[in-house]
Structure 1
C-alpha cells in the first residue's frame, strides 16, 4: 500500500510541476517571444536550463524549508504527502478556473501548514518569519516600482527602444543531426543590445522561478524520504520542462492578458524587480510568490508613473475624492504614442509586438529634455486606461487570499479526520 501511495505522490508531483512550467514559462519569456528575440521552442529550452540552475543551487534551501522545517518531516507519511499535493493542485485549479494566476508557493505552504496544525508539528516561529516575508515582499515591490515609475521610468523610456526583430535573435537549428543554437548576426547593434537584454532578463526570471517553485512539486516527497533532494529536483524540472514545451505555448502566444498592454520596458522592469525579490527570499530559504511580487511591482510602477503629474506635497494633501489623483494603474506606463513619418507608433507594447506591429527601426531616441518634470500636468497620461481596474484588482487579491485558505482548510480537515 505504501508503494502505491508513493507512486500516486510521484504522479501528482509531476502534475503540479507540469502546471508550474506551463504558467511560469509564459510569464518569464512572454516579452522575449513577443519581440521575436526567441521562438517558443527556444524559450522552453532556455527556461528549462535556467529553472534547473535555480532549483539546483538556491532552490535546495526552499526544498529543505518546506520538507523538514515548516513541520516535522516525520509527519510527511506517504498518505500525507499525497494529501498535501492534492489540496495544492485542487486549490490552484479552482483559482485557474477564475482566470487568476494564484501563488503556487503560498498554496503549497498552506497545505503543509494544514497538515502541521492537524498533527501538532507546525514550526510557528518559522511560519511567522515566512508570513512576515509574504507581507514585506509585496510592499518592497510596490515601493520599488513606485520609485522607478516616478523618478526613473520616463528617462529610461526616452533613451531606450525595443522593436520587433524580423528573425529571432536566438533559435534552435534542427536541420543537422543534433539540434544546435544559431545566432542571428544580421541585426543592428542597437537591436542586438535590446534583444539580448530581453532574453537575459527572461533567463533570470526562469532562474528565479526554478529556485522558488521546484519545491512546491516535490517537498512532501523529500520530507517522507521517497526522494532525495537531487532526484527530486530532476523530477520537478522534468515536469516543469514538459509544461514549458506544451501548455506554455498558448501562454507564450497570447503573452498573457496582464502584460499585453504593457510596454516592453515596463515588462522588463517588473520582471527584474520581481525576480530579484524572489531570488533573495529563495536564497534565505523562504518560499514566496513570484506572481504576487511582480503584480505588486506593476501596481507601484503604474502609480509612480501617474503620480509624476503632482508633487509629493500635493499627493500628501490631496483629497481622497480628487478625480485627478494618481490611480493604481498600469495605463499610466504608456506614454502618448509617438508616430514616425509613416504613421507607425513607437514604444510598442508587448501585445503589439506579438501581433506583428513593428516600430520604425530608424526612429531616433527622444532626448531627456522631452521628459516632463515632476508636478507638470499631463492629462493624456492621467486619463490612460489601466489594466488594474479596482474591480479586477479586488478579484485578484481576493483569490490570492482565498486560494491558500482553501488549501489550508482542506488539508487541516482531512488530516484532523484521519488523525
Structure 2
C-alpha cells in the first residue's frame, strides 16, 4: 500500500514539473507579444487548456507508454516506481547541470531501460517513436519557414495589417492558438506521468488522464511563472500573425501525434517552429545560434540518460546487482562534463526581427 501511495505521489510531482516547464511555455507567445497583459491570466488559460487536453485526449499516448513499448505484464508497482524515479532523477540532475531534457523522451528512455533489463522490448513501436522525434520537429521547422515567407508577403501586400485596427483580432487569434498549444501539451505530456500507473492497473486510463491533467495544470499555474516570463522575452520580436502561426503549427502537429498515440517532444517542436520563422527572415545568420547545441544535447541525452538510470535500478532493486551503482555514477559524471559545454551565444534570443536599413544608412555604409 505504501508503494502504491508513493507511486501516485511521484507521478503527481512529475506531472507538476511537466506543467511548470514544457506546458507553461505554451502561452509564452501570447504573453510575450502583449496579447495577454497579465501573467496570471496567461497561466490560467494555459492550465485550463492543459487539463482539457489531458482529460479529453490523453488516453492514446498513455496506452503507448503503458503497453506498446514493453508488455503490461512486467509493469508492477516497483517497476512503476523505477520508471517514474528514473525520469524524475534524470530531469533533476540535468537541471543542475543546465542541460535541457524532453520529458517525453526521458519517460520513453526510462521505459526502454526497463525493457532492456527484462530483455522484452517492442522494437517496431520504439523505432516509430524515435523517427517521429526527428521528423515532427523538422516538419515544424519547414512549415514555419514556408508560412513565415507567406506572412511576409501578406504583410507587405496589406501594410494596414500592422495598424492598431488589426491588433485586437490578431491578439485573439494568438490567444486561441496558444490555448490550443496548451491543449496539445495536455494530450501528449500527461501520459509521461500516468502511463506507467495505467499499465500497472493502479488506475484506469480515464481517471489517470484526469488525475495527471490536474497536476500538470496545477504545475503550469503555480510554478510556470519563470518559464513563461523567460519564454515570452525570447520571442517578443515576433509579430502577432507570426506568433499565431507558430503556436498553430505546434498545436496541430502535437495533437495529430497524440491521436496516433505518439509521444513527441513538445518544446522541441515549438523551438524548431521559431527557428523556422527566424531562418525565413535571417537566412544563414541563424545557423550560428547556440540553440542548436542545446537541441543536440536534448535529442541525444534525454532518452539515454533515463535509460541508463532505469536499467541499472532494475539490476539493483530487482536483481540485486550492485554493479549498476557504478554505471549510474559514471553516467552522471559524463553528464557533468557535458554541462561544461556552454555555447558563447547562450543569451541570444531564438528570434530577432530582421534589420531594415533606410536609404541614408545604406549610403553611409
- Partners of 2:35 and 2:289 lie apart in 1 by 33
1:91–1:404 contact (8 Å) kept in structure 2:
no
Q: Computing the radius of gyration over CA atoms, which structure comes out larger, 1 or 2?
A: 1
* Residue of structure 2 equivalent to 1:220: 196
* Residue of structure 1 equivalent to 2:48: 49
The alignment yields a C-alpha RMSD, in angstroms, of: 2.3
For residue 278 of structure 1, report the CA deviation from its aligned partner: 1.1
1:102–1:291 contact (8 Å) kept in structure 2:
no
* Residue of structure 1 equivalent to 2:65: 66
* Residue of structure 2 equivalent to 1:235: 211
For residue 36 of structure 1, report the CA deviation from its aligned partner: 4.6
Do the aligned partners of residues 111 and 42 (structure 1) sit closer, same or farther apart at CA in structure 2, a change above 3 Å counting? same
- Partners of 2:219 and 2:96 lie apart in 1 by 18
Do the aligned partners of residues 23 and 269 (structure 1) sit closer, same or farther apart at CA in structure 2, a change above 3 Å counting? same
For residue 98 of structure 1, report the CA deviation from its aligned partner: 4.3
Q: Are 2:247 and 1:271 aligned?
A: yes
The count of corresponding residues between Structure 1 and Structure 2 is 315
- Partners of 1:100 and 1:280 lie apart in 2 by 28
TM-score, with normalisation over the residues of structure 2? Answer: 0.79
For residue 38 of structure 1, report the CA deviation from its aligned partner: 5.3
* Residue of structure 2 equivalent to 1:371: none
- Partners of 1:235 and 1:407 lie apart in 2 by 24
Query: For each residue in 1:314-333, what CA deviation from the matched residue of structure 2 results, as whole angstroms up to 9, or x when unmatched?
Result: xxxxxxxxxxxx2335xxxx
Helix, strand or coil for the counterpart of 1:288? coil
* Residue of structure 2 equivalent to 1:339: none
Helix, strand or coil for the counterpart of 1:71? coil
Consecutive unaligned residues in structure 2, runs of 5 or more: 320-365
Say which of 292, 303, 313 aligns to 2:279.
303
* Residue of structure 1 equivalent to 2:8: 10
For residue 393 of structure 1, report the CA deviation from its aligned partner: 1.9
Q: Are 2:153 and 1:131 aligned?
A: no
Consecutive unaligned residues in structure 1, runs of 5 or more: 164-187, 308-325, 330-388
For residue 23 of structure 1, report the CA deviation from its aligned partner: 1.9
- Partners of 1:216 and 1:41 lie apart in 2 by 26
Q: How does 1:14-413 map to 2 (within 5 A)?
A: 14-34=12-32, 35-37=34-36, 39-149=38-148, 151-158=149-156, 159=158, 190-256=166-232, 258-307=234-283, 326-328=284-286, 389-413=288-312
1:47–1:244 contact (8 Å) kept in structure 2:
yes
- Partners of 2:210 and 2:40 lie apart in 1 by 20
1:275–1:290 contact (8 Å) kept in structure 2:
no
* Residue of structure 2 equivalent to 1:355: none
Do the aligned partners of residues 253 and 98 (structure 1) sit closer, same or farther apart at CA in structure 2, a change above 3 Å counting? same
